[in-house]
Structure 1
């Protein structure tokens, strides 16, 4: 467990160095793209769970995509100067995302935990369990949106 944490911290530090060279508008685009890609994959899982034609392979692919992005260090894309500006559209990150680090860290850790669990549950092939886990994962998304994302 300690080695996973150490590797995660190292990856974030390395990503921070590379990301520091990214223009603010590109950082906004990258994070908007990441969140959009995760939303599409959550929709793929939802369609399988609710559609009555469950396809384990598709659910596993979607869950693994979400897990990969959740663990990719997206927080490094919240660079100075990205609090305002436009990526694909104007950023909707609220100002407190840069100041309420404790709450943001808690929300982010919960999201990562549930994204990792989603991949495990998807691999089981149990559609009902996937539906329950999708609700937990979606709840972490909503919690972050409620606190840190402005409405359109």
Structure 2
């Protein structure tokens, strides 16, 4: 039991240290890459749902990719100073995402819940259910975008 607790504490400490060592520009690039990758995979799911030919395996791959990124701890990439600056492009994170921790936490948890559910629903191969879940997942994205992502 003590060894498991020690391992857990070491893991948390190292993860925190790794996040603290990320350069601001890299943190922005990693965030932008993660969100861009999820958007591409959401598009893949949408294409399968709306495109007339539903490919269960492609949907599962895309849903699993979204789930993995959603649960990867991207919140650690909102390091001090990354409210301004450039990654692949200028950050569009609004200042509130760094200060409204309670609301952002709720939105992030809702997104993770919907991403996890998307992976479960995708595995069923039910195109209608996947489409409905895609709407919920997209809604959870929009919840954050509306308040915390600046328009281009």
Partner residue in 1 for 2:57: 57
Deviations 1:93-139 (A, max 9, x none): 00011110010000000000000000000000000000000000000
Please tell me whether residue 87 in structure 1 is matched to residue 67 in structure 2: no
Please tell me whether residue 134 in structure 1 is matched to residue 134 in structure 2: yes
TM-score by length of 1: 0.91
Using the TM superposition, give the Cα deviation of residue 20 of structure 1 relative to its aligned residue in structure 2, in angstroms.
1.1
Compute the RMSD of aligned alpha carbons: 1.7
Q: Which has the larger radius of gyration?
A: 2
Stretches of structure 1 that go unaligned for 5 or more consecutive residues are: 1-7
Partner residue in 1 for 2:66: 66
Q: For 2:11 and 2:47, how far apart are their aligned partners in 1?
A: 33
Stretches of structure 2 that go unaligned for 5 or more consecutive residues are: 1-7
Q: For 2:21 and 2:118, how far apart are their aligned partners in 1?
A: 33
User: What is the 5 A alignment of 1:1-150?
Assistant: 14-150=14-150
List, as ranges, runs of 4+ consecutive aligned residues in structure 1 with deviation greater than 2 Å: 8-16
Q: For 1:10 and 1:57, how far apart are their aligned partners in 2?
A: 37
